[in-house]
A and B are shown apart, each in its own frame.
Chain A
Amino acid sequence: MKPHFRIDEVTYSHLLGRLNDLHVTDKRGTLPDFIFFHKDEWLADTAVIEELTRHKGEWQVNLVFAHTNNPMRFIRRQITSYSCPRKASLFASLMRRLAAKDQRGTQAISINDIFVAQN
């Protein structure tokens, strides 16, 4: 007989537990679950950070709106893209000033305060 891959009993039991959870977590959401879509007052206290990324041969302008007290509370929006990096950088700066509540930039946070797990 060909030897088969085996897992120990504890791991198998964990695996079954996760399968159980699958049916609990994958249930249809209720209306209160979507409340965060409408609860956007926190956006009033956000600092805006411009971000340029290379995407499909163009420089894409993204704006990150991060809460000044809790930088991990943020949203990232893709605005537009340009083929010229200088033009992209200039427009990103203009867009940031346009979007920011505080145009002088006193409400500022560093992009390094936002940690996003890449795994």
Chain B
Amino acid sequence: MHNTKEKIVLASIKLFNEHGVASVRLQQIADETGISVGNLAYHFRNKEAIVSSVYEKLFDEFRQLLSTYLLTPSFTDFDMQMSGYFEFFKTYRFYITDLFSAEHPLPEIQSEWEMFMNKMILQIRNRIDFHVSRGELLPESSQGTYHLIAESIWMTLVFWIPQQTIRRKPVTEGRYRMAVWNHLKPYFTQKGLDTFELISPVLSQN
């Protein structure tokens, strides 16, 4: 059972997703939570405090996601992390406006996003290196190729859900993960293909 503070944060996330962070009023949050504005003010002194609390939760979850880097030395590890990203970006759909806003009311949030996004790309790049060293991916044909691939994978991870939403197409986890794997498939070695084939039943279950 959630306490009132958690309920307020969850209701705010829902409203931020539907209307955007800037256009949600305290009255709406109070109505969604099922409490009075006075009660809301007792828990959070203003909207900025709510926004800050929402981002604290959001970044905590993102930190946990990043900490799942290479827990096991296999393709399934990346697949599991992809599932985590999918859940995350689906839960916090309002992130997209943050990424494109020139000025955020809370500047430290923008710098946090920037750091997390850079870490994501670095993780993907190092993952590729790891699978190259295991002989599952081809060695880099020309310098910088894998960095570009890492950036493309990052773009898919971050922007696949919004692009499907814009085009009113189904947002399913299976397609999301396949969209990412398709970036890497052309670079698989025979060993990589065999491994991928071997684990594909597990991937479809996740």
Interface residues of A (CB under 8 A from B): 1-3, 6, 9, 12-13, 16-17, 19-20, 22-24
What are some 28 contacts across the A-B interface (CB < 8 A)?
A1-B52, A1-B55, A1-B56, A1-B59, A1-B106, A1-B108, A1-B109, A2-B56, A3-B108, A6-B115, A9-B118, A12-B119, A12-B122, A13-B122, A13-B125, A13-B126, A16-B69, A16-B70, A16-B122, A16-B123, A16-B126, A17-B126, A19-B70, A20-B130, A22-B70, A23-B73, A23-B130, A24-B134
Interface majority SS on A: helix, strand, loop or mixed? Answer: helix
The answer to whether B133 and A24 have CB atoms under 8 Å apart is yes
The answer to whether B115 and A20 have CB atoms under 8 Å apart is no
Q: Sort chain B's interface into a size bin.
A: 20 to 34
- Docked pose: A16 CA to B118 CA in angstroms: 13
Knowing A1-B52, A13-B126 are in contact, say whether A20-B133 is a contact too (CB < 8 A): yes
Interface residues of B (CB under 8 A from A): 52, 55-56, 59, 69-70, 73, 106, 108-109, 112, 115, 118-119, 122-123, 125-126, 129-130, 133-134
Sample of 11 more A-B contacts, CB < 8 Å, known A1-B112, A13-B122, A23-B70: A1-B59, A1-B108, A2-B56, A9-B118, A9-B122, A12-B122, A16-B123, A16-B126, A17-B129, A19-B126, A20-B126
8 residue pairs, one from A and one from B, having the closest CB atoms:
A23-B73, A16-B126, A20-B130, A13-B122, A19-B70, A1-B52, A1-B56, A12-B122
